[in-house]
């Protein structure tokens, strides 16, 4: 066990705590936020099963984004689908034995990494090339995109330029499950990649990246369009009625 391995072990313990605690706090905040009006974006489903189907289309196909802007949809979907494949590929470092579907996805995860970088590059170029988007883009938007692209490029570099000992990497992360710090390879690209991933975990609950869980709490997406059939009363208003 080296000093560097210990530093990274505690870094990932801290990052995991911030990620889980921050997400939990935000989900509770979203769940408690009042929805005083019935405001589903029309055309909206009139049944609860229809709402589930609508949310599924939003999560999988980005339906509203497709209707709004085809170019953003293309690059956004490429990035998110690539990220999904990369996430599945990286599960091999955290499970033992590796499940058959995860083994099958390994070659496709490499292409997912390429797709992830291409999608991010398109989304970042939009921040510079489209006037109205450039006007509302903040420094944090550029930094987050730079962070994501650097994570993707450093991961691809380890695949095509400078390989690392993936067996020791897996031993390191599985050792964290039981509080045991195993030796982490001291490869510069690996250390940079892991440092950036830990940074992403820390800022995730407090950045615009939180739109992922926020989608499920959006009143314009999760409400049934039945204002005539059923009166909509916000939780705080219902409690006031009961007190009176």
63-112 per-position pLDDT tens digit: 988 988 899 999 999 999 999 999 999 999 998 888 999 999 999 999 99
Residue-level pLDDT at 36: 75
Determine the pLDDT at residue 34: 79
Task: Determine the pLDDT at residue 239.
Answer: 65
- Name the token pair of 214: 């926020």
Report domain extents, the chain. 3-243
The pLDDT value given to residue 104: 92
The encoded tokens of residue 89 equal 């590929």
For residue 138, the Cα-to-chain-centroid distance in whole angstroms is 20
Through-space distance between the first and last CA atoms of the chain, rounded to whole angstroms: 65
Query: What pLDDT score was predicted for residue 243?
Result: 66
* Total count of residues recorded for the chain: 244
Contacts of 104 (CB under 8 A, 6+ apart): none
Q: Phi and psi (nearest 5°) for 84?
A: -60, -45
Tell me the Ramachandran region of residue 8: left when phi exceeds 0, alpha when psi lies from -120 to 50, beta otherwise: alpha
pLDDT at 231: 75
pLDDT at 230: 75
**CATH 3.90.1200.10, applies to 3-243:** no
Quick one: tokens of 108?
A: 């496709």
pLDDT < 70: residue spans in the chain: 1, 233-244
């Amino acid at each position: 066990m080296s000093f560097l391995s210990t530093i990274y072990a505690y870094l990932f313990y801290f990052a995991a705590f911030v990620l889980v605690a921050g997400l939990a706090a935000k989900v509770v905040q979203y769940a408690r936020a009042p929805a005083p009006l019935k405001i589903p974006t029309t055309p909206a489903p009139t049944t609860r099963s229809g709402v589930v189907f609508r949310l599924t289309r939003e999560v999988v196909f980005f339906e509203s984004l497709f209707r709004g802007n085809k170019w953003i949809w293309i690059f956004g979907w490429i990035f998110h689908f690539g990220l999904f494949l990369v996430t599945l590929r990286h599960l091999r470092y955290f499970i033992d034995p590796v499940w058959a579907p995860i083994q099958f996805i390994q070659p496709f995860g490499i292409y997912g990494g390429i797709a992830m970088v291409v999608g991010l590059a398109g989304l970042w170029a939009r921040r510079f090339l489209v006037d109205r988007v450039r006007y509302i883009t903040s420094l944090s938007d550029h930094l987050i995109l730079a962070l994501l692209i650097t994570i993707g490029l450093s991961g691809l570099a380890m695949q095509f330029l400078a390989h690392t000992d993936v067996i020791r990497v897996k031993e390191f992360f599985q050792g964290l499950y039981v509080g045991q710090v195993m030796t982490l390879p001291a490869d510069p690209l690996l250390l940079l990649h892991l440092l950036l991933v830990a940074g992403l975990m820390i800022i995730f609950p407090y950045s615009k990246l939180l739109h992922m869980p926020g989608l499920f709490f959006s009143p314009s997406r999760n409400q049934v369009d039945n204002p005539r059939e059923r009166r909509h009363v916000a939780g705080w208003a219902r409690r006031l009625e009961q007190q009176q």
